[in-house]
Chain A
Amino acid sequence: MGNKSPIVEIKNLSKSYRRGNQILPVLQDITLDIAEGEFLALMGPSGSGKTTLLNLIAGIDKADKGIIKIGGVDITSLSETELAHWRAANVGFIFQFYNLIPVLTAFENVELPLLLTSLSKKDRQDHVKMALQVVNLLDRMDHYPGQLSGGQQQRVAIARAVVTDPVILVADEPTGDLDRVSATEVLQLMERLVHELGKTIIMVTHDPWATKVAHIIRHLDKGILNAHHQTDF
């Protein structure tokens, strides 16, 4: 790992929320580097700031201070519009509740992020089929989310996350709503994305089982990041 250049560089990041007159610090002076092709698990108790840190890395929330560079781009200096364009090109999202659009088929859900690109319809179709092939759900591409199991829906969500070939994948409790078998399938799939496609994944999880596939585990407690390295990378 030490030889790889960091794709994510976070320096002195702080974030707080205001509740009435009270200011609640959520993240305090976080410094973190994540190398390209790493699978990082962020753990910690509820309210420790895991999801907030993930949101900041993904460019869907704004830090109070500090710098976040993804692939050399300081995203803390981008405007909302610039961030939206940046997210479309660089970040894939995987959520706990899959968050597929229920009235669109698996194919259409995966195609959604590609609508913001200049790809032709034919190219979009090829990309979608490839992404569904990766998650082994090509035969279910015409199914609606309601016709798929939780594990299958999460795999469609993963296909949607990777279809634009983003720089990083962020996953917020991706196995939190799945049974053990489905969770294992999803984790194995994410592991494959790292090993076979070289993706960088940052995953927030409560699940100790989920951390078995991660290369690095970092703990957050009351907004402060503690180190814990897994050795089997």
Chain B
Amino acid sequence: MHIIKLIFKNAFRHKLRTFLTILGITIAILSFGLLRTVISAWYAGVEASSATRLVSRNSISLVFSLPISYKDKIRQIEGVKIVSYGNWFGGIYIDEKNFFANYAVDPKTYFELYPEIILSPEQKDAFVRDRKAFVAGRKLIAKYGWKIGDTITLKGTIFPGNWDFVLRGIYKGRDQTVDETAFIFHWEYLNEALKKTAPLRTDQVGFYMIGVTKPSLAASVAADIDKTFKNSLAETLTETEKAFQLGFISMTEAIVIAIQLVSFVVIFIIMAVMANTMAMTARERIGEYAIFKTMGFGGWHIAGLIFGESLFITMIGCIIGIVLTFPAAKAFGTELSTYFPIFIVEDKTICLDILASFTVALVAAIFPTWRAIKIRIADGLRRIG
């Protein structure tokens, strides 16, 4: 009974020092949690990708397009269940700072291939019927306050000109890993307009999205697609959706590594702060530990007191840090929704927070414990008075 009580009371003997240490740990865990969430957000597309979907693009670069005529050839390859296609539009809404993803897709096949995008049947019908229609995720709608029937104009960058769209539907994600900030419209609308303004760019798609009958066929189907278009004017590079998404991340890998490093540096710094607190604590109580030893308490008891106190202080900071991570992530995610449409604190992040706190507590207590156990009782007693 006393040992737990003693750990609790010892932890608050120097209230200011303990408070400042807890504050430091709270800030560190909060920062660590947010940085890990940024990394998770970076990989959100990868996490959300399906094992039964492939992406096929021009083998030279994503910048180059593929003929629409490939669609039927791909459809005939064994193992292919459905073929959809699209173009990255890159339109700007009013100002460049209002960035959001906007694509031209084939509405009939797109929603079939992406069942995680949920749209009511009425809105889906309205979208399919109207060539100028678009649907957008509910977060994007909320951000700009659009309403069904509103006409929204995007300024084309890849496809110059002002492009008018009518909002016909608001989609939501099946779960929180689905991006709800995308703007999706008819590929036909884009293609028809290009026939008038840039005929050489018509009947081209940026990428094919292919559904396979089962995940085990993904590799062979991808190989078959690329083989089909080998030595053509536009050779394909087909990969799983996950590999496609990872390809994007690899372009910014240095940033991800830097964020990861910073997140661990934060933990390392707080480890040093906590170790300093525990070293001061143990030094002040070396006489008390000697008293415990005279009474017959062994090294394990002394270690229990020091590790217990270290763990107690660290876990208070950890819990407060974790609790604060959620509102902070929400605010952070709202503010940076343009860059991180999916910004959620994952269970894995919480586990990492707890693991980091345990590590900090244990590492911080090792040296003071070793010192307290090793010191001779007679030497410890001399420190009193």
Contacts and interface: CB of A to CB of B under 8 A. Distances in A.
Nearest to B384: A97
B377 A61 contact: yes
B115 interface: no
B281 to A, nearest CB: 13
Interface string B366-385: 00000000001110010011
A58 interface: yes
Nearest to A62: B376
A34 B298 CA distance: 28
B2 A112 contact: yes
A116 B296 contact: yes
Interface in A191-224: none
B128 interface: no
State the majority secondary structure of interface residues on A: helix
Interface residues of B, number: 24
B381 A95 contact: yes
B143 interface: no
A79 to B, nearest CB: 11
A93 B6 contact: no
Nearest to B294: A93
Contacts of A99: 287-288, 291, 384
Nearest to A111: B2
A36 interface: no
A112 B287 CA distance: 16
Interface string A107-132: 01001110110000100000000000
Nearest to B288: A101
B3 interface: yes
Contacts of B291: 93, 95, 99, 101
Contacts of B292: 112
Given A61-B376, A95-B381, A116 B295 contact: yes
A95 B298 contact: no
A95 B384 contact: yes
A61 B6 contact: no
A112 B295 contact: yes
Contacts of A52: 378
A58 B294 contact: yes
B2 A55 contact: no
Contacts of A85: 296
Interface in B4-38: 5-6, 9-10, 13
Given A60-B377, A84-B296, 18 more contacts: A52-B378, A61-B376, A61-B377, A86-B296, A88-B295, A93-B294, A95-B291, A96-B385, A101-B291, A102-B13, A103-B6, A103-B9, A103-B10, A104-B2, A112-B295, A113-B296, A116-B295, A116-B297
24 contacts: A58-B294, A60-B293, A60-B378, A60-B381, A61-B377, A81-B298, A84-B293, A84-B296, A87-B295, A87-B296, A88-B295, A88-B297, A93-B294, A95-B381, A99-B288, A99-B384, A102-B13, A108-B5, A111-B2, A112-B2, A112-B295, A113-B296, A115-B2, A116-B295
